[in-house]
Amino acid sequence: MPRNAGDRRVALVTLGCARNEVDSEELAGRLAGDGWELVDAADDADVVLVNTCGFVEQAKKDSVDTLLTASDSGAKVVAAGCMAERYGAELATALPEADAVLGFDDYAQISDRLNRVLAGEELSAHTPVDRRTLLPITPVERSSHAVAIPGHADLPEGVSPASGPRVLRRRLEGGPVAPLKLASGCDRRCAFCAIPSFRGAFVSRRPTEILEEARWLASQGVREVVLVSENSSSYGKDLGDPRLLETLLPELAAVPGIVRVRVSYLQPAETRPSLIKVIATTPGVVPYFDLSFQHSSEPVLRRMRRFGSTERFLELLAAARELAPEAGVRSNFIVGFPGETKADVAELARFLTEARLDAVGVFGYSDEDGTEAATLPGKIRRDTIDRRYDRISRLAEELTAQRAEERHGQVVEVLVESVDSDSAEGRAEHQAPEVDGSVTLRGDCPVLGRLAVGDLVRARVTGSLGVDLDAEVLGVVDRVGVDPAVLDRGPNRVPAPAGSGG
């Protein structure tokens, strides 16, 4: 198709976590608002903007590989995101295939930056700084300081469309599920983690902004919002109310069109009983606990600059399951941290065996630039780390499969994400997007043939393979585009709106 002289096409590639997805959609919103056409393929683009991940060594390698592949398309290639923010000019020097390396401070002028790249101008890569130094140490003093924070932007007055919420975001993927950013940054000082240095100090978004964006997402067909941040359990502390999440969750669950709210990235040391109660018992909020345990041996946790132990973590899980017996729980663990002993690994195995987690991520320790752990004595040999990783990974796989088997016969609520001729697929409440498995819906039930993406259904689990479940549909709880008052909403669901007759 012929191109007009003023046409500018950009392809966005997102790597890493759901937080990066939100950041990419902010970039897409800014670019679309300035007339850029968003395209899917690098071969169709004038500029490929890669939102990189800089969390661990493999993520950094994937980011570099993606940038190199993009350069083969003939388009201009621009690196943004965490790896670009973290390494700046160092990345630009090591990767001449990238036409520019941009930091978070460039996001507000992203269209100008890409215009200049497209015009052949050479941009200076930014000089990385410890972004924690850009905001006051005291959290409640941060709201009055202007610092670029990806995923927190709203359109200024007068720029928004005549109708609709003022949300600076453009969805890049369809489907009934979307991440919604609660906050950015982190105030914790975990010895193994570099994220606070390039993401900055913890900053909450205001509830009004979050609710506005949730309503906008609902208008885009989203049925489940997944609240993301570096540490969701800290939400509100810089706004003067460390329990603000407990009041926000019911408000989010009440947004018309949203049938599920999911919280991710909870710190065990900050997960209060009152927050557990809200997550476990609020209609419309899924009883799902994404808890960052990292290990369970107390000596290892202390060296990591974290808190807890096997017994304390088991008590936390017991408190959640007392309120919601079938609550979903996932966590991540690091093996091979400096100073870890065989006894520490055995303690972790004991915790995993008793915890009955639904999903487990296991990582072998590696030194990260600028972290305290990189300087610690007692480094574990790589072959020993690999053996421990294999052992704990196999154990986790076995235990999570057993946990899935425990759900045989249970009735679960499934959000439908795809529909085929004789089946449908979605996720139960204990399954977060992409990481925790899925549910395949089968059976001769007439309802099955009428399901649509975004429907919320009740189903009985009939089998499992690993963490994935098979289930037969029993009925529809909430159908897309249908007044929920006419449907059987089942137990523990949001009541029909007042005056609707439900």
Range of lowest pLDDT (54-58, 227-231, 337-341): 54-58
| 3-state SS assignment for residue 88 | coil
Looking at the structure, tell me whether residues 90 and 187 fall in a common domain: no
CATH number at residue 414: 2.40.50.140
Give, as one character, the DSSP assignment of residue 190.
-
Residue with tokens 């506005």: 212
Token pair of 224 as six digits: 């489940």
Distance CA 38, CA 28 (A): 7
Residue with tokens 């807890």: 308
**Structural element, H or E, at residue 211:** helix 207-219
Token pair of 306 as six digits: 């974290």
Residue 221's domain comprises: 139-154+165-406
In single-letter form, the type of residue at position 403 comes to R
User: Between vectors from CA 434 to CA 428 and to CA 435, what angle results, nearest 5°?
Assistant: 85
**Structural element, H or E, at residue 471:** strand 468-478
CATH number at residue 38: 3.40.50.12160
User: Between vectors from CA 200 to CA 59 and to CA 104, what angle results, nearest 5°?
Assistant: 70
Q: pLDDT tens-digit profile of 370-413?
A: 999 999 999 999 999 999 999 999 999 999 999 999 999 999 99
Distance CA 212, CA 229 (A): 17
How distant is the alpha carbon of residue 424 from its chain centre? 24
Question: Per the domain annotation, does 477 fall within a domain?
Answer: yes
**pLDDT greater than 80 at residue 55:** no
pLDDT of 387 reads 98
Is residue 445 part of an annotated ligand binding site? Answer: no
**pLDDT greater than 80 at residue 344:** yes
Question: Please, what is the angle between helix 310-323 and helix 342-355, to 10°?
Answer: 10
pLDDT of 352 reads 98
Question: Per the domain annotation, does 285 fall within a domain?
Answer: yes
Token pair of 121 as six digits: 């101008």
Looking at the structure, tell me whether residues 448 and 482 fall in a common domain: yes
Question: Per the domain annotation, does 249 fall within a domain?
Answer: yes
**Structural element, H or E, at residue 10:** strand 9-14
pLDDT of 138 reads 87
Token pair of 19 as six digits: 């937080």
With cut-offs at 50, 70 and 90, classify the pLDDT of residue 483: low
Is residue 186 part of an annotated ligand binding site? Answer: yes
* Percent above pLDDT 90 for the chain: 74
Question: Per the domain annotation, does 175 fall within a domain?
Answer: yes
Of the candidates 249, 164, 177, the one whose C-alpha atom is nearest the C-alpha of residue 213 is 164
pLDDT of 489 reads 41
Looking at the structure, tell me whether residues 117 and 146 fall in a common domain: no
CATH number at residue 227: 3.80.30.20
Looking at the structure, tell me whether residues 228 and 369 fall in a common domain: yes
DSSP 391-422: HHHHHHHHHHHHHHHHTTT-EEEEEEEEE-SS
pLDDT of 66 reads 86
Looking at the structure, tell me whether residues 390 and 439 fall in a common domain: no
Looking at the structure, tell me whether residues 296 and 315 fall in a common domain: yes
Distance CA 249, CA 226 (A): 11
Question: Per the domain annotation, does 495 fall within a domain?
Answer: no
Looking at the structure, tell me whether residues 99 and 169 fall in a common domain: no
* Rg from Cα positions in the chain: 23
Q: pLDDT tens-digit profile of 191-218?
A: 999 999 999 999 999 999 999 999 999 9
Distance CA 470, CA 441 (A): 6
**What's the whole-number mean pLDDT along residues 10-17?**
91
DSSP 418-466: EE-SS-EEEEETT--TTTS--EEEESS-GGGGG--TT-EEEEEEEEEET
**What's the whole-number mean pLDDT along residues 72-89?**
91
Question: Per the domain annotation, does 501 fall within a domain?
Answer: no
Residue with tokens 């007042």: 498
Distance CA 262, CA 103 (A): 30
8 A C-beta contact, residue 406 and residue 356:
yes
**What's the whole-number mean pLDDT along residues 308-325?**
98
Question: Per the domain annotation, does 133 fall within a domain?
Answer: no
Token pair of 351 as six digits: 């915790």
Question: Per the domain annotation, does 1 fall within a domain?
Answer: no
Looking at the structure, tell me whether residues 402 and 422 fall in a common domain: no
Counting the structural domains of the chain, the total is 3
With cut-offs at 50, 70 and 90, classify the pLDDT of residue 160: very low
8 A C-beta contact, residue 419 and residue 452:
yes
Domain boundary among 406, 435, 461: 406
**pLDDT greater than 60 at residue 502:** no
Of the candidates 467, 472, 315, the one whose C-alpha atom is nearest the C-alpha of residue 403 is 467
Looking at the structure, tell me whether residues 354 and 433 fall in a common domain: no
Q: What is the 3-state secondary structure (H, E, C) of 74-113?
A: CCEEEEEHHHHHHHCHHHHHHCCCCCEECCHHHHHHHHHH
pLDDT of 163 reads 42
Other CB atoms within 10 Å distance of the CB of residue 370: 13
**What's the whole-number mean pLDDT along residues 465-493?**
73
Looking at the structure, tell me whether residues 356 and 447 fall in a common domain: no
How distant is the alpha carbon of residue 466 from its chain centre? 22
Distance CA 230, CA 270 (A): 13
pLDDT of 166 reads 63
Domain boundary among 356, 389, 406: 406
- Evaluated on CA atoms 25, 30, 31, 32, the torsion sign reads positive
Looking at the structure, tell me whether residues 149 and 98 fall in a common domain: no
Domain boundary among 406, 436, 456: 406
Looking at the structure, tell me whether residues 353 and 472 fall in a common domain: no
